[in-house]
Amino acid sequence: MSKRNFLEQEAPANYVAGLGRGATGFTTRSDIGPAREGPSEEAIKAALARRAEQQGLAPPTAYGADKKKDDDDDNDPRFQDPENEVGLFAGGAYDEDDDEADRIYQSVDEKMEKRRKTQRELREKAEREEYEAKNPKIQQQFADLKRALSTVTDDEWASLPEVGDLTGRNRRARQAMRQKFYPTPDSVLAGAASGSEFETSVQEDGTATSASADQVDGTMTNFVNIGKAKTKVLEARLDRSINAGTSTSDSASGATNIDPKGYLTSLSRSTTQSAEQIGDIKRVRELLESVIRTNPKHGPGWIAAARLEEVAGKMVPARSVIQRGCEHCPKNEDVWLEAMRLNETHNAKIIVANAVKHNPKSVRLWVEAMKLESDPREKKKVIRKALDIIPQSVVLWKEAVKLEADPNDAKILLARAVELIPLSVELWLALARLETFENAQSVLNKARKAIPTSYEIWLAAARLQEQQGNANKINVMKRAVQALARVEAMPSREDWIKEAEKCEDEGAVETCQAIIRETLGWQLEEDDGRKKIWTDDAESCIARGKYETARAIYAYALRVFYNKKNLWRAAAELEKNHGTKEALWSLLEKAVEACPQSEVLWMMLAKEKWQAGEVDGARIVLGNAFNQNPNNEDIWLAAVKLEAENQQHEAARSLLATARREAGTDRVWIKSVAFERQQGNSDAALELVNEGLQLYPKADKLWMMKGQIYETENKLPPAREAYNAGTRACPKSVPLWLLFARLEENAGVLVRARSILDRARLAVPKCPELWCESVRIERRGGNTTQAKTLMAKALQECPHSGLLWAESVWYLEARTHRRPRLVEAIEKVGNDPILYVAVARNFWAERKLPKAMNWFEKAILVDPDYGDTWAWYWKFLVQHGNEEKREDVLSKLTVTEPRHGEVWQRVAKDPKARYKNPEEILKAVAKELDER
C-alpha cells in the first residue's frame, strides 16, 4: 500500500486550521441547529407557585417558601437550590416528591428550632451578660458617679476649679516659635572667632596680652577685676549676715555677733535648685493658687501652698500664705497649727491666741498653746483655762496631771477628772496608781462599777494584789472572767495572751500565769484540737521571747492532758533552754510520774542528773526506769553509757551481758561490740560479732564492724571476705558497699573497686552516695575524663542530689565556671546543706567573706544535725572570724549535738574518739577537712 501524500491525508479530530499560528476556531448556528432560549428562573418559580396554589398546597421549598438559614450557611454547596445541584444529581429533575421531602424537612427544622430556641436564648443571654460584666462600657463604669452628681449642690458646682492649660500644649507651641533659628553669615562667624582669641599670660595691669599691644578688645579677660568682684560679693554677704545676727547695742558699739555654727548651718540649707526644680515649683504654685482662689475655704490647699513656699526657701511668702489661710478658714485647726509651726515662738503665741478664740473647743490648739509656754506656771494657767472650756477632755486632764510635781495635787486633779469623766479607764488607773493599797482598792471598785465592761480595771486589780503578795489567796482573774462574761464583754483568747505577755514584760509574772490559767480554755471544746492549739500558742510565745507565758500555757495544758508525753517533752525543752536546773528536774520528775512508760523522759532526767555531776542520782533514776520498763533496750544502753562515761568498765560490761540475755536485740549486740572495741579488746569484739551474726545475720552494722576489726589489724583477706558476705546478706546497705569499695581502693585494686560499685548501683539504684564514690575513685585515680562521664550519668539519674552537684562543681569544673553551675544546682536541688556549703566555699575562695558567712549560716539552718557543715563553718571562723562568733558557734553546737555527716560520723564513731565532747570532735573534723 502506497503512503498517501501529506496534503491528501485526513485532518485529525478537533483539528482547527491556523491554530498553530494563533488563529482561533468558531462555531456557527448551522453547526448546532436553531437557537431557543428557555424560561427564566423567576418564570419557573411563578409557575410552580401557581400550580401549588391551584392544588391547595404550600409553595415548594426551592422556590416559594421562606428559608430560615444562618448567614454562615449561605455559601455551603450542600444546602443550595435543588435546580442548581452539582455533582452526581446535577442532571436530575425536580419533581413533587422532592418538593414534599423539602416541606417535611422544613417542618422538622422548624420544630427543632422551636424546641432549642429557649435554651439557645438563655445561653446567649448568659454569655452576653458575662461578656458585659468582664468588658463594661465606659458609660457603665461611670454610671454610679453620674447618679451621685444629683447630690451636688450649686455651691459645690460653683467651687469647682477652672480648668487651665495643665498639659502645656500651647506653652510648648509658643516656646517652639521662639526657638526658631536662622542661618548666620560666614563673616559674623569669622569675626567672632578672631575676636575671642586670647593668650594665657597676664600682664601686671591685669589685662591679657594680645597680638598687638595697641589693640585691646572688649572680649579680653581681666582676671584681677574678676577676683576683686568676687571679694566684694563675699564681703557683702558677710555684712548682711552680720547685720541680721547683731543686736542694736552691738550695732551701736560696732561689735559683731556672728554665730559661726549657725552661719554654716544656714549655708548648708541654702541648696542650689536646678532649672527643672524651679519649673516644677512654678507649676505647682500655679496649681495651688488656682485651688485656693476657686475654693478659699479649703484648708489643705492653704497648707500645701505654704509648705511649697517653705520648700522653695521663701519663709516670708509662706507665712503670708498661711496667714491668709487663717483668715479664710478660721474654723480649721490644721491651718492654725501650720501657721504656728511656720512662725517663731512670739508670733506663734499671738496666732494660737487668735486660734483658740475661733476654736475654743479644739483640744489640739490648747495643747499646742501650752507647749509654747516655757514657764510651768504659765503652762498650768493655759491648761486650766482649757479645762474650764472643755472639762470632758481626757487629753487635757492628762496634760494637767503631768504638769503637777506633787503627787497629792495630781491625786486631787485625777479625783476631779474621774468625777467629770467617769468612763475614762486611763484616768481611773492613773488615780489608782497614785493611791495607797486600801485607797487603790476602793478606786478600782468604783471604776469597775462605772465601767463594768473594762478588762483593764480587772488586770490592774490583779496586779495590785500581786504587789501585796495576795495573788495566791485572792483569785481576781476568776472573778474577772465571770463578771466580763456576765456583761458579754469577754475578750478573745488571743487578746488575753497578749495581755499576759504585757504583764510578763512589766514583771507581773503571777498575773500573767493567772490570766493564762483562767482564760486559755475560753470557748474551746474538746473536739477543737485543744492540744494542737495550745502547743502552737506556746511555740509562738517562745518565738517572741515570752517564756513565762509559754511556761504558763504548758502548765495549763499539762493539767488537762496529764498523760501526753509530747507536752512534757516540750515543756522540758523550754525549761532546759530558758529555765533553771531545779525547775527542769522538778518538771521531769513530774513527767516520769505522769508517763512512767516513756523511756525518753526517764533518760532525759538521768542525763540531766549525770551532767550536773550527780551520778548516783542518775543511777537511781535509771533503776526506777528499769522497774517501770523491764527489758527496755534504751534504758539498758543508757545505763551502760552512764557506767562507761564514769570509767566503770566492768559494771558496763556486766550490764551489757545482762542486756544481751534479757533484752537481746541487734542494737544491744552492736553496742557490746563497740564497747569492746573502745576498750581495745579486739578478740572479744570479734567473738561478740560472730555470735551476733549467728543470731542476726541481716544486721549490716555487725558485718561492717567485723570487716573494720580485720581491717584495723591489717588482715585484708578476712576483711574482704566479711564485706563480701555482708553485701550478700544485706544487699541494700549502702555503707557496707562503700566500705567494701574503699578497702579495695586502699589495697590498690581499682578494677575490683569499680566492679563492687557497679554491683552496688545495680542493687541500690538511684543512690547518690554510690555514684559519688564511683566518681571519687576515678578522680583520685587521675582518670578525670571517666570521672566527668560518670558524673554526667549520675546527674541524669539523680538530678536533685546536692552531694553530686557539690562534687561536680568543686572538683570537676573550672574556677570560672563554678558560679553559673552553682546557680543551676540551687535551682534544681533547692535547700541542701552540702550544696550551700559548696556555695559558701566558692565565696570564700573569691574573698567575699560576708557572703560566705551568710551561706554557711544558711546551711546550718537547713540541717543543724549535719556535722560537716559545722566543721566547715568552724574552719572559716578560725581564719576570718572573731572570738565572739566562735564562742557562739560552740555554744550552739553543744545544744544541737550533730550526729550525721560524711566526715563527722567517721571521726565521731572512731573507737579512739569515744570520750570526746562535741567541741573536740568539731576541731578533729575541721582538721581532717584541711587534709582532704
Region 514-530 average pLDDT: 83
Query: Per-residue confidence at 858, pLDDT binned at 50, 70, 90?
Result: very high
Mean pLDDT of the chain, nearest integer: 80
Query: Per-residue confidence at 872, pLDDT binned at 50, 70, 90?
Result: very high
708 CA to centre of own chain: 50
- Sequence letter at residue 347: N
Query: Per-residue confidence at 916, pLDDT binned at 50, 70, 90?
Result: confident
Region 149-155 average pLDDT: 79
pLDDT over 60 at 35, yes or no: no
**H runs (alpha helix) in 487-546:** 493-505, 509-519, 530-543
- Which three cell numbers mark 202? 597676664
Which of these ranges, 53-62, 262-271, 564-573, 788-797, has the smallest mean pLDDT? 262-271
Which of these ranges, 104-113, 243-252, 317-326, 358-367, has the smallest mean pLDDT? 243-252
pLDDT of residue 527: 66
pLDDT of residue 606: 84
Region 650-659 average pLDDT: 81
| d(C-alpha 917, C-alpha 840), whole Å | 26
Q: Is the dihedral of CA 698, 701, 702, 705 positive or negative?
A: positive
Give 315's DSSP letter: H
Region 462-480 average pLDDT: 84
pLDDT of residue 773: 93
What DSSP string describes 327-383? Answer: HH-TT-HHHHHHHHHHS-HHHHHHHHHHHHHH-TT-HHHHHHHHHH--SHHHHHHHH
Query: Per-residue confidence at 13, pLDDT binned at 50, 70, 90?
Result: low
Nearest to 726 by CA among 748, 702, 746: 702
Give 59's DSSP letter: P
pLDDT of residue 302: 92
Q: Is the dihedral of CA 505, 507, 511, 516 positive or negative?
A: positive
161-186 burial: b if 16+ Cβ within 10 Å, else e: eeeeeeeeeeeeeeeeeeeeeeeeee
Region 485-494 average pLDDT: 88
314 CA to centre of own chain: 44
Q: For helices 867-880 and 918-931, what crossing angle results, to 10°?
A: 80
CB 734 within 8 A of CB 760: yes
Region 336-350 average pLDDT: 90
| d(C-alpha 568, C-alpha 554), whole Å | 8
pLDDT of residue 269: 47
Query: Per-residue confidence at 777, pLDDT binned at 50, 70, 90?
Result: very high
Region 302-312 average pLDDT: 90
pLDDT over 80 at 843, yes or no: yes
| d(C-alpha 606, C-alpha 621), whole Å | 6
pLDDT of residue 208: 41
At residue 208, the 3 state secondary structure works out as strand
The residue with greater pLDDT, 341 or 250, is: 341
Query: Per-residue confidence at 126, pLDDT binned at 50, 70, 90?
Result: confident
Region 630-644 average pLDDT: 78
CB 279 within 8 A of CB 305: no
| d(C-alpha 406, C-alpha 434), whole Å | 11
802 CA to centre of own chain: 25
pLDDT over 80 at 285, yes or no: yes
The residue with greater pLDDT, 361 or 243, is: 361
pTM of structure: 0.58
Q: For helices 363-372 and 394-403, what crossing angle results, to 10°?
A: 20
Query: Per-residue confidence at 464, pLDDT binned at 50, 70, 90?
Result: confident
pLDDT of residue 548: 92
Alpha carbon dihedral 85, 88, 91, 97, in 10-degree steps, equals -70
The residue with greater pLDDT, 161 or 203, is: 161
pLDDT of residue 73: 45
pLDDT tens for residues 75-88?
Answer: 555 555 555 555 55
The residue with greater pLDDT, 201 or 709, is: 709
- Sequence letter at residue 840: A
The residue with greater pLDDT, 272 or 64, is: 272
| d(C-alpha 854, C-alpha 442), whole Å | 58
As a whole-number percent, the residues of the chain with pLDDT over 70 amount to: 79
Region 146-159 average pLDDT: 78
Q: Is the dihedral of CA 276, 279, 285, 288 positive or negative?
A: negative
Greatest mean pLDDT among 120-134, 229-243, 322-336 lies in 322-336
Region 56-63 average pLDDT: 59
pLDDT tens for residues 373-421?
Answer: 888 888 888 888 988 888 888 888 888 888 888 888 888 888 888 888 8
Give 474's DSSP letter: -
Nearest to 328 by CA among 353, 293, 356, 357: 293
Query: Per-residue confidence at 191, pLDDT binned at 50, 70, 90?
Result: low
Q: Is the dihedral of CA 468, 469, 474, 479 positive or negative?
A: positive
Q: Cell 553485701: give the residue.
A: 727
pLDDT over 50 at 364, yes or no: yes
Q: Which residues contact 208 (CB under 8 A, 6 or more apart)?
A: 198, 199, 200, 201, 202, 220, 221, 222, 223
Which of these ranges, 131-145, 256-270, 679-693, has the smallest mean pLDDT? 256-270
Give 206's DSSP letter: S
- Sequence letter at residue 428: W
| d(C-alpha 112, C-alpha 88), whole Å | 29
At residue 500, the 3 state secondary structure works out as helix
Query: Per-residue confidence at 236, pLDDT binned at 50, 70, 90?
Result: low
- Which three cell numbers mark 661? 540475755
What DSSP string describes 749-805? Answer: -HHHHHHHHHHHHHHS-S-HHHHHHHHHHHHHTT-HHHHHHHHHHHHHH-TT-HHHH
| d(C-alpha 290, C-alpha 312), whole Å | 18
pLDDT of residue 214: 40
Region 257-273 average pLDDT: 45
Residue 910 burial (C-beta neighbours within 10 Å; 0-12, 13-18, 19+): middle
- Report the alpha-carbon angle 106-111-117, nearest 5: 120
Region 574-578 average pLDDT: 88
pLDDT over 90 at 226, yes or no: no
609 CA to centre of own chain: 44
814 CA to centre of own chain: 35
65-91 burial: b if 16+ Cβ within 10 Å, else e: beeeeeeeeeeeeeeeebeeeeeeeee
At residue 303, the 3 state secondary structure works out as helix
pLDDT of residue 6: 67
Q: Which residues contact 786 (CB under 8 A, 6 or more apart)?
A: 778
